[in-house]
Amino acid sequence: MASLKELKGRINSVKSTQKITKAKKMVAAAKLRKAQAAAEAARPYAERLEGVVASLASKVGAADGAPKLLSGTGKSDTHLLLVLNSDRGLAGAFNSNIVKAARDKAHELQAAGKTVRFFLVGRKGRPVINRLFPGQIIENYETTGIREIGFEQAREVAEKISELFEAGAFDVAHLFYSKFRSALVQEATGQQLIPVPAPDEAPASSGAAVEYEPDEEAILADLLPRNVTIQIFKGLLENAASEQGASMTAMDNATRNAGDLINKLTIQYNRSRQAAITTELVEIISGAEAL
């Protein structure tokens, strides 16, 4: 049984940890509002741009002269998985859920005889991916020291992705991030980034003749690189909100667990202290009777 001094030390240690988790929860709650607003503001534009590109892609198809980002390389042997993670922990299962979604997709592709490569943003997913798929990480984008990851970082990642694609490093690219639903729910999401996937349903025709100036190919040549950047930017914003929501929930649980542990240790301390007092009283009374 632990001594009274050891129990008192454990209680003080847990109380110090509880103060840290409570402060971390308050910081995450404050950051969540801004991150959530940014993620929700970016969704309409990203979704609309993706719809416009898909609509134009359905008209152009894989015709001669179509941009490579649309038509692809003509094969799907090598797949690049762009996995967006954070540099910090203390966010529950936020990072592990994204890595799990990417891992499942990689195993599915490998089972189909495809080659898988990884492009990692953030540090937290790197050890797991490196252990499960050794030697298959072709690029790491360092975000350490960047206070707020924004559009500039998304553009840099998109440019590196485009360079790898033009160099023939992969045929198909997939993006993995955590979509923010609420402070309690974050959904690990994957989407095909390159080439632009064909829409599930053909867009309804209004019967009107539409003419493009310049033509569809020229418009797509400008919109496709922008769409890649915007989709990555959306993923980064969704990740930022999801990380703060997961962190707030995790720290709230940790604070309550610390409170429960403090109560248990306090009861154990009081019982041990009462037992020690009782033992001393018995010894005193026994000594007095002996005299």
Q: Does 127 sit behind a cis peptide bond, omega within 30 degrees of 0 on the bond before it?
A: no
pLDDT at 59 over 70: no
**pLDDT 10s digits, 96-145:** 899 899 999 999 988 888 888 998 888 888 888 888 888 888 888 877 65
Question: Hey, is 202 helix, strand or coil?
Answer: coil
Specify the pLDDT at position 77: 85
- Tell me which of 282 and 147 has the higher pLDDT: 282
CA distance 244 to 180: 10
- Any idea what the Cα angle at residue 25 is, between residues 22 and 28, rounded to 5°? 155
Q: What is the phi/psi pair of residue 12, to 5°?
A: -65, -35
CA distance 1 to 7: 10
For residues 53-74, average pLDDT: 68
As annotated, the residues of the chain forming the CATH 3.40.1380.10 domain(s) are 33-247
pTM to 2 decimal places: 0.80
pLDDT at 19 over 50: yes
**Six token digits for residue 195:** 């080439």
Position 216 confidence tier, pLDDT thresholds 50, 70, 90:
low
Q: What is the phi/psi pair of residue 288, to 5°?
A: -65, -40
The CATH code for residues 4-19+252-290 is 1.10.287.80
CA distance 74 to 274: 79
Position 94 confidence tier, pLDDT thresholds 50, 70, 90:
confident
pLDDT at 250 over 80: yes
Query: Could you report how far apart the first and last alpha carbons of the chain are, in Å?
Result: 33
**pLDDT 10s digits, 146-179:** 667 778 888 888 888 888 888 888 888 899 998 8
For residues 38-49, average pLDDT: 86
| Amino acid (1-letter code) at residue 110 | Q
Specify the pLDDT at position 1: 62
Radius of gyration of the chain (CA): 28
33-247 maps to CATH 3.40.1380.10: yes
pLDDT at 199 over 80: no
**Six token digits for residue 34:** 């801004």
pLDDT at 9 over 50: yes
CA distance 193 to 173: 5
Position 206 confidence tier, pLDDT thresholds 50, 70, 90:
very low
Question: Hey, is 161 helix, strand or coil?
Answer: helix
Task: For the beta carbon of residue 154, count every other beta carbon within 10 angstroms.
Answer: 22
pLDDT at 51 over 70: yes
Of 280, 273, 266, the closest CA to residue 15 belongs to 266
pLDDT at 66 over 80: no
Please report how the helices 216-290 and 151-166 are oriented relative to each other, as an axis angle in degrees rounded to 10.
Answer: 120
- Maximum Cα–Cα distance for the chain, whole Å? 115
Specify the pLDDT at position 289: 73
As annotated, the residues of the chain forming the CATH 1.10.287.80 domain(s) are 4-19+252-290
| Amino acid (1-letter code) at residue 148 | E
Q: What is the phi/psi pair of residue 173, to 5°?
A: -120, 140
pLDDT at 10 over 60: yes
Average pLDDT, the chain: 82
Question: Hey, is 81 helix, strand or coil?
Answer: strand
Question: Hey, is 205 helix, strand or coil?
Answer: coil
